[in-house]
Every structure is written in structure tokens, then in C-alpha cells.
Amino acid sequence: EAQVTQNPRYLITVTGKKLTVTCSQNMNHEYMSWYRQDPGLGLRQIYYSMNVEVTDKGDVPEGYKVSRKEKRNFPLILESPSPNQTSLYFCASSFNGLYGYTFGSGTRLTVV
């Protein structure tokens, strides 16, 4: 089954403790992207990647890092999480980056 898999689904952490949210896709898509969803703001892009070793900032990249060492994986790294990063995060992949995005089920992160 074609899918995007994120882990974990839920995470509660403390301020400043580094964490990684993993994302993997099995569709051989070149484009991958991370979004955060906040009430009243919709889905905002954090980072995206057009291919292995090619990443770029989205609209809200501050406080986040990403890497794309393999085509299928696109982890999101929070080096020093803060409470304003409490949000619902979605990873997505696409064959061309413009449409046809498949989304993961989401990771609900709470930073206390």
C-alpha cells in the first residue's frame, strides 16, 4: 500500500530536549515536505526537499532542521524544542512537488 509513515503519533517532551520525528514514504517520490497545522492558520510549510541532499526552507523553518540522506526518509529535527512548537505535524510526499501530495497521519507534539 502506498503510504507516508510518521512516527511517533503522539509525543510529549520538555523544553530543550532534542527530538526527531521520522517520516518514510514507499512511493519513490522525489518531493517531501513537512507542515505544521495550527488553529486558524491551516497547514504551514516548514521545510521541503526536492531530492536526496536537496532541502530548502518553507514558510516557518525557525527552530527546525531536516535531512534527506535517502529518498524514502525525511526526518524533522527539533534541536531545542520550545512550547511554541506545540502543534500537529504532517509529513507529505509528491512525485513533482506541485500536486498529488500524500500525507502521513500526523504527529501531535506537546512541548511543556
Partner 1 sequence: DQQVKQNSPSLSVQEGRISILNCDYTNSMFDYFLWYKKYPAEGPTFLISISSIKDKNEDGRFTVFLNKSAKHLSLHIVPSQPGDSAVYFCAASGGNKLVFGAGTILRVKS
Binding site for partner 1 (CB under 8 A): 4, 33, 35, 40-45, 48, 50, 56, 58-59, 90, 92, 94, 97-106
Residue with cell 532542521: 65
Q: Please, are residues 8 and 21 in contact by the beta-carbon 8 Å criterion? A: yes
Cβ 54 to partner 1, closest distance in Å? 11
Please identify, using beta-carbon distances, which residue of 47 and 75 lies nearer to partner 1. 47
**Closer of 9 and 18 to partner 1 (Cβ):** 9
Q: How many CB atoms lie within 10 A of CB 48?
A: 22
The DSSP code for 41 is: T
